[in-house]
Amino acid sequence: MFVFLHALSFILAAQAIDSVPPRHPPRTVAIDERLAQDAGLHVGDTLVLTPNPGHAGDTVVVSALMKRASDPSEVARGSYRIRVHLDELQQLVGYGERVERFAVSTRGNAGADSALHAIDAAAFGFRAYSSREIAVESSTTFLVVSRFHRAIGIITIVASAVFLLCIMLLKVDERRRDVAALRLMGISARTIVRSVVLESALIAVCGSIAGVGIGSVVSAYVNWHYRRVYRTPLTFSLVTGEIVAIAVTLSLALGVGAGWLAAQRLVRRPPLSLFGR
Amino acid sequence: MILALARASLVRHRARTLLAIVGVAISAAMLLDMVMLATGMRVSFRSLLLAQGFQIRLAPRGTLPFDTDATIPGAASIVAQLYARPDVVAVSPVLGAQLHAERGAASVSAAALGTLARVQGDYKLLNGRPPVADGDVAANDALLTALGARIGDTIRVAAGFDPQLRGFTGQRTVRIVGRAHFIYLAAGERALALPLPSLQAMEGPSQKDRVSLIMVRLRDASNVEAARDAIDRQMPAVSAISTTTAIEQVEQRLSYFRQLAFILGTVSLGVGFLLVTTLVTVSVNERLGEIAVMRAIGLRRLRIVEQILIEGTVIMIVGAIAGLGLGLVTARYLNSILAAFPGLPEAIDFFLFQPRDAWIALGLLAGSGILAAIYPAWRGASLPIASTLREEAVA
């Protein structure tokens, strides 16, 4: 098994050098593209790695550039990553034969649980975790953000409902004379309520379509902006079919509800009173 | 008279006015929350960092304090160099580690801080005495509860586990001499403090003369940045971080919340503005005849404008005042959600109320109310009197 230790935990100081001849053939390292970009490093460049800045270290050659993983737990960290051969890093930081963790690949998902139990039962002093458990643990920050977004969403829905109700009330109020005339002509209150509800439903659907369009554009902008800010390929905002369905359904329900309330207020008044008499 | 007319106009459509006020109140609540979010974190973090009077922190080069497992080598020499500076009053070296703690059947892990009790700035002692001698520890309530222990009890602590020998490493029996509150730790996090040399010895040769963080208190608080620059240049193994730079770095990491606050605050203000504009415009449209009559009997344009502006501003201000109360309640709820961030110090508040925030929100809303009423006011004031009266009479 080929295992790497994360250099992040040890904060190696890397310094680009041009003319120091190595005494032994230098080992290779892979650096992340952010470090390469910030330090102006390229494949084939020579570096000195040292656990203590200003002290002697090992000369290494950059053999590869790594793309940063879409890891939510690292999104706000500005740290750089260097992948070093295990034995070299152990020697460099005086870590002996110790490692911080092993990654174990099993044949299929079914084998993972039995492997977990077998490893845990083999000895004590360490514990095996499934990738899912680690993902849940490292995503806690984003779960909190998600709960925060949900709370903000609820406040927004309440505000939208009040706004919509207010607008519908104004729209219906504006037409009280038309409604009075219709009522005097014999059109039933039920028909008037239906027409108002239908109108508000149409407005809600049109608003939803516009909202989905604006949401998709904003989502694309959010992803572009935060990917640039945090320099990560992570997707920050995702417009899925489920989200669109929830938004449209909510909007429709709010629109119909607001229209019905406004129409009820109108048809309860006698037609002559709507005329102002 | 203008006030009475404005009042009559608002009272005429009670449901409509009430709904508008509710809408503005929700917008105001959201706006206040976002103003609090934009400034609260910074103020809260700043007061946390300065709580113990240390203005500069030294972390391993290229890192933030306790951001990684990296430690600073040659701690004794660095502390001596710092004390040699005339502007330094106190230096507090701190080593952080994770320890196993056992008492009877209870066995838990806890964050351990190795400090020098006479200069430490990481915890406040609630009861007992500080851990000054080898074998002393001060624990927080979460650890005492988990172990079922109290001051005077002895517990066993260990720094690690050797899987080959199948036994704990750096194990020793210690006595709880104090009960402490750890300032920078998350709520519910189990923790204990012990003398720095004791923790370094428990951690073994790898942590000999190493610390995770050094805090520096200066004589002159106005000279922090110059001292920070000098220390940063003088010591290649450390990054010197002042309170200002620490806040900037944390803000950079949490810039998302500031941007979210700005966007949602702007949207809230926009929604309130639209609501009032729509309402007042419709209200003016309904009263065109009335306005034309008032103009015909000699009321000046300015008085019409004043009346309509008063209507818009009243809706905004009444809604905003109601929204401030609502905003404080929602801020508390939202803060409780964000307080669950892993590792967030208990003392950090994302939503911190300051009277200045309330005045900013109120001022923005009042200004927005006046702006929202400008268009309908202009429309009302510029009506052609004769033709409007004729159209209204025909209608």
pLDDT digits (tens, 9 = 90+) for A148-171: 888 888 888 888 788 777 777 777
Q: Residue B48 in contact with residue B347, Cβ under 8 Å?
A: yes
What is the rounded distance in angstroms from the CA atom of residue B198 to the CA atom of residue B204?
Answer: 10
User: Residue B341 is nearest to which of A13, A124, A144, comparing CB atoms?
Assistant: A144
Sheet holding A4-6, edge to edge: A4-6, A82-85, A27-32, A58-66, A46-50, A13-17
> E strands, B197-283, where?
213-218, 238-242
Contacts of B19 in chain A (CB under 8 A): 162, 165-166, 169
B387 by Cβ neighbours in 10 Å (0-12 / 13-18 / 19+) ranks as exposed
Q: Which pLDDT tens digits describe chain B residue by residue (395 residues)? A: 667 777 777 777 777 788 888 888 888 888 888 888 888 888 888 888 887 788 999 998 878 888 777 888 889 999 999 999 999 999 999 999 989 999 988 888 899 999 999 999 899 999 999 999 999 999 999 999 999 999 999 999 998 877 667 778 888 999 999 999 998 888 888 999 999 999 999 988 878 889 999 999 998 878 888 999 999 888 888 889 998 888 887 777 777 788 888 888 888 888 888 888 887 787 787 777 778 888 888 878 888 888 888 887 888 888 888 888 888 999 999 988 888 887 788 778 888 888 887 888 888 888 887 888 788 888 777 878 777 777 766 65
The closest alpha carbon to A5, from A23, A40, A30, belongs to A30
Which tokens belong to A146?
Answer: 């998600």
Q: pLDDT tens digits, residue range A54-111?
A: 677 888 999 999 887 766 666 666 678 899 999 888 888 877 787 888 888 888 777 7
Is the per-residue pLDDT at A179 higher than 80? Answer: yes
Interface of A with B (CB under 8 A): 8-11, 13, 52-54, 76-79, 94, 123-126, 140-141, 144, 147-148, 151-152, 155-156, 158-159, 162-163, 165-167, 169-170, 173-174, 226, 229, 265
- Predicted ipTM > 0.85: no
What is the rounded distance in angstroms from the CA atom of residue B36 to the CA atom of residue B30?
Answer: 10
Structure confidence at residue A276 (pLDDT): 63
Q: Residue B251 in contact with residue B43, Cβ under 8 Å?
A: no
What is the rounded distance in angstroms from the CA atom of residue B126 to the CA atom of residue B129?
Answer: 9
Contacts of A57 in chain B (CB under 8 A): none
- Tally of residues, chain B: 395
Q: pLDDT tens digits, residue range A122-141?
A: 766 677 888 888 877 777 77
What is the rounded distance in angstroms from the CA atom of residue B11 to the CA atom of residue B8?
Answer: 5
Confidence of residue A7 (pLDDT cuts 50, 70, 90): very low
Q: pLDDT tens digits, residue range B66-80?
A: 877 788 888 999 999
CB contact (8 A) between residue A144 and residue B63: no
What is the CA B82 to chain-centroid distance, rounded?
32
Widest distance between CA atoms in chain B = 103
Question: Mean pLDDT in chain A?
Answer: 80
Tell me the pTM: 0.70
User: Residue A155 is nearest to which of B30, B161, B237, comparing CB atoms?
Assistant: B30
Structure confidence at residue A189 (pLDDT): 86
Contacts of B268 in chain A (CB under 8 A): 159
- Which has more pLDDT, B381 or A27? A27
User: Residue B22 is nearest to which of A123, A162, A167, comparing CB atoms?
Assistant: A162
Q: Residue B46 in contact with residue B247, Cβ under 8 Å?
A: yes
> Scanning the structure block, which residue is given the tokens 């998350």?
B186
CB contact (8 A) between residue B29 and residue A125: no
List Cα–Cα distances, B162 to A128, B165, B335, in angstroms. 17, 5, 42
Structure confidence at residue B128 (pLDDT): 93
